[in-house]
Amino acid sequence: MNEVNSDLGVGLLGMGVVGTAVAATLIGRAEEFAKHTGKNLKLHKVVVRDLDRQREIELPEDTLSNDVDAVLENSDIEIVVEVMGGLDPAGQYIRRALAAGKHVVTANKELIAKEGPDLFEIARKNGSSLHFEASVAGAIPAIHPQLRDLRANKIKSITGIINGTTNYILTNMVQKGMAFDNVLSEAQSLGYAESDPTSDVEGYDAAYKIAILASLAFDQRVSPDDVITEGISKIEPKDLEYAAELGYAVKLLAIAEQKEDGCLVRVHPTLLPEQTPLAKIDGVQNAIQILGDLSGPLTFQGAGAGGSATASAVISDVLEVARALAIGNAPLWDSGIQGEGDILTLESLETRYYLRLLVSDRTGVLARVADVFGEKNVSIAAVYQKEIHAQEDVAELVIMTHKASEASLNEAIEMLSQIPDVHAVNNRIRVED
């Protein structure tokens, strides 16, 4: 349909799972891509650390290099694809590429979330561009809907399950009744969790992603430091069991909301009524709900990670740049990631809470606990007393509150901890309805 007018050089930085899928597809589908874009996409160089490592695919001779200058100093390469991950040296390489007028496609959520504004500024100054659809939720369109398809809307909120590892762990803790540590080990051996799982399980990975989504949605800079972040490592099988008895699933939710006086962005385990769509997202699936004032609620669901799914987003970005260049367009849009606006702290949150307390199994304790909540204006919706057979003199109280402010709840927990008969507040999980 389009005349193929010229070659367009592509350089790839990194050849892990995603890079391998990108390289294989660019090579295998070269003819179709040329027909579609009007450019012959040529994968000139792939930069890797270790030239001797066994690779899953065979590349044309002289394509592999361990010298990043083979891409960055190569005037035949107009598009640089970065799939190494991490801040350094990926950030340094992307800066050099953008400064040299090259267009960059990246899947690097940490870098975009932390240093996006600086990178976009470099691109703007140098007539280059930076594309990052792959940085959030794999193949699920998450960036472009906000930049383009839903641009007419005021976005009120974004709620998502955007970390597959934690969702896999929570799903398996429920289904197998296993403890967090055991499921994590299993996930690691299956390749669903990294050998250092901190970024996933402590919620940092989800925080990077929701920071990016919130920046776009609210047209203001939201950095990962602005995201209230709590991981899933404290969740016990008991919490999942009690939640299920009450009709809830527990999910690591990323939530960004535009409120009257600013935006509130958070990542934390959340009790969700089990009939809600997000409660049913199991295993490594991702789902994102966007609430626009014109669109109403929209849900996007699919594989949020994996080589092919991420390559789908990476290469689609490459194709869009190629198509733009072929017809003489600048492959630019606004990042929407550097505006200013107020960001709220957790103290402003009003929500419902699930609490699990270990108390002495003695008359009057429940009344004392209830008093504390009353004093702090936290209204209790229900209390369930759970027997603990191993220790006969203690009992577990599961408390569901009505909507209360986080500040009041924290004060109540502080007061509870001073009651001798309250041995521990074993968990506090927020509830979304």
Catalytic residue annotation: 209
* Options 211, 319, 372, 429; binder of a second copy; rule CB under 8 A: 319
* Options 92, 175, 299, 345; binder of a second copy; rule CB under 8 A: 299
By C-alpha distance, which of 138, 154, 140, 143 is closest to 120? 143
Closest separation between CB of residue 214 and a second copy, Å? 17
Q: Does 332 bind a second copy (CB under 8 A)?
A: yes
Q: Does 145 bind a second copy (CB under 8 A)?
A: yes
Closest separation between CB of residue 330 and a second copy, Å? 6
Q: Does 57 bind a second copy (CB under 8 A)?
A: no
* Options 4, 51, 89, 148; binder of a second copy; rule CB under 8 A: 148
Does residue 165 contact residue 284 with C-beta atoms inside 8 Å? yes
Distance CA 359, CA 417 (A): 10
By C-alpha distance, which of 10, 50, 48 is closest to 30? 10
* Options 295, 408, 410, 427; binder of a second copy; rule CB under 8 A: 295
Distance CA 98, CA 394 (A): 62
Closest separation between CB of residue 86 and a second copy, Å? 24
Q: Does 175 bind a second copy (CB under 8 A)?
A: no
The CA distances from residue 416 to 333, 334, 348, 369, 398, in Å, are: 52, 50, 22, 7, 14
Site for a second copy in 335-394 (CB under 8 A): 336, 338-339
Closest separation between CB of residue 119 and a second copy, Å? 16
By C-alpha distance, which of 55, 52, 49, 105 is closest to 77? 105
* Options 110, 133, 205, 239; binder of a second copy; rule CB under 8 A: 133
Distance CA 139, CA 310 (A): 6
* Options 12, 21, 272, 425; binder of a second copy; rule CB under 8 A: 21
The CA distances from residue 60 to 28, 63, 241, 357, in Å, are: 12, 6, 54, 62
Distance CA 147, CA 149 (A): 7
Q: Which is nearer to a second copy, 58 or 334 (CB)?
A: 334
* Options 11, 14, 138, 231; binder of a second copy; rule CB under 8 A: 138
* Options 59, 100, 298, 383; binder of a second copy; rule CB under 8 A: 298
Q: Does 188 bind a second copy (CB under 8 A)?
A: no
Closest separation between CB of residue 351 and a second copy, Å? 25
Q: Does 191 bind a second copy (CB under 8 A)?
A: no
Q: Does 316 bind a second copy (CB under 8 A)?
A: yes
Q: Which is nearer to a second copy, 323 or 423 (CB)?
A: 323
Q: Which is nearer to a second copy, 257 or 320 (CB)?
A: 320
Total of residues contacting a second copy (CB under 8 A): 58
Q: Does 91 bind a second copy (CB under 8 A)?
A: no
Closest separation between CB of residue 314 and a second copy, Å? 8
* Options 308, 405, 426, 427; binder of a second copy; rule CB under 8 A: 308
Binding mask 150-169 for a second copy (x = CB under 8 A): xxxx----------------
**Residues making contact with a second copy (CB under 8 A):** 1-2, 21, 25, 29, 33, 36, 133, 138-141, 144-145, 148-153, 219, 277, 292-303, 306, 308-309, 311-316, 318-320, 323-324, 327-330, 332-334, 336, 338-339
